[in-house]
Amino acid sequence: AQKVTQAQTEISVVEKEDVTLDCVYETRDTTYYLFWYKQPPSGELVFLIRRNSFDEQNEISGRYSWNFQKSTSSFNFTITASQVVDSAVYFCARPIMDSNYQLIWGAGTKLIIKP
Amino acid sequence: DTGVSQNPRHKITKRGQNVTFRCDPISEHNRLYWYRQTLGQGPEFLTYFQNEAQLEKSRLLSDRFSAERPKGSFSTLEIQRTEQGDSAMYLCASSQTGSSNQPQHFGDGTRLSIL
């Protein structure tokens, strides 16, 4: 099976706390891409990052950072100094093996940032 | 860049009726995707177009569903003889030409409710 697992259904933290969202994927590919998307209450899915499996360096973009661990098939997402506007559902996704374009998605993690 | 546009935003109809949704992708994007999303789940791939050609179609897509992209620009998704289980958010996305695994950019979706 080619699953993407986001085991955390919902996380609630107080503003300014750091929070990490987990993503574990299954793959038999040697080369693959991984994605994170954000879905705020308004509903539109917003692209956050695309990562190639060749590049195992961590990525940082402002308060967002991503930790890619090929050995454990994980691609975790950390928000530092969280803000109320970060409240959303976050999805991890990857293309399925026999398709270049079909994305398979995790079930999402609902992140609630309390003021 | 005006983003992906979907119409209507909401559709309420009685069981058994036909419905049609429209998606206008980002103008320079030649790839277009349809997804379905139910509450608490990640998007589920339905179909994919490159220009006017429908290249991939999910096995989950029953014969009641059909999608077109006649001129390689906007696309329509039609559901015939709607059923209660068709109630969901229908999402459209588009991506650039070039290598596979380009990020997909999503519209706001069309929420379908079957009475």
pLDDT band at B99 (very low <50, low <70, confident <90, very high): low
Rounded Cα distance between A31 and A56, Å, is 12
Name which of A102, A104, A109, A110 to mutate to probe chain B: the one with the most chain B Cβ atoms within 10 A of its Cβ: A102
pLDDT value at residue A101: 73
Going by C-alpha positions, the residue among B44, B38, B35 that lies closest to residue B75 is B35
Distances (CA, A) of B102 to A68, A94, B107: 19, 11, 16
- Cβ contact A93–B109 (<8 Å): no
Tell me whether A50 touches chain B (CB under 8 Å).
Answer: yes
For A2-11, letters b (16+ CB in 10 Å) and e give bebebebeeb
pLDDT value at residue B98: 64
pLDDT digits (tens, 9 = 90+) for B58-98: 887 889 999 999 988 999 999 999 999 999 999 999 998 76
Q: Both ends of chain B: CA-CA distance in Å?
A: 36
Residue B83, min C-alpha distance to chain A (Å) = 23
Distances (CA, A) of A24 to A36, A106, B69, B84, B86: 12, 9, 35, 33, 29
Looking at chain A, how many residues does it have? Answer: 115
Residue B61, min C-alpha distance to chain A (Å) = 14
SS3 for B37? Answer: strand
pLDDT digits (tens, 9 = 90+) for A62-114: 999 999 998 899 999 999 999 999 999 999 998 876 666 788 899 999 999 99
Q: In this structure, which amino acid lies at residue B49?
A: F
Residues ≥6 apart with Cβ < 8 Å to B19: B11, B13, B78, B79, B82, B112
Taking CB atoms and an 8 Å cutoff, what residues of chain A touch B104?
Answer: 47, 103
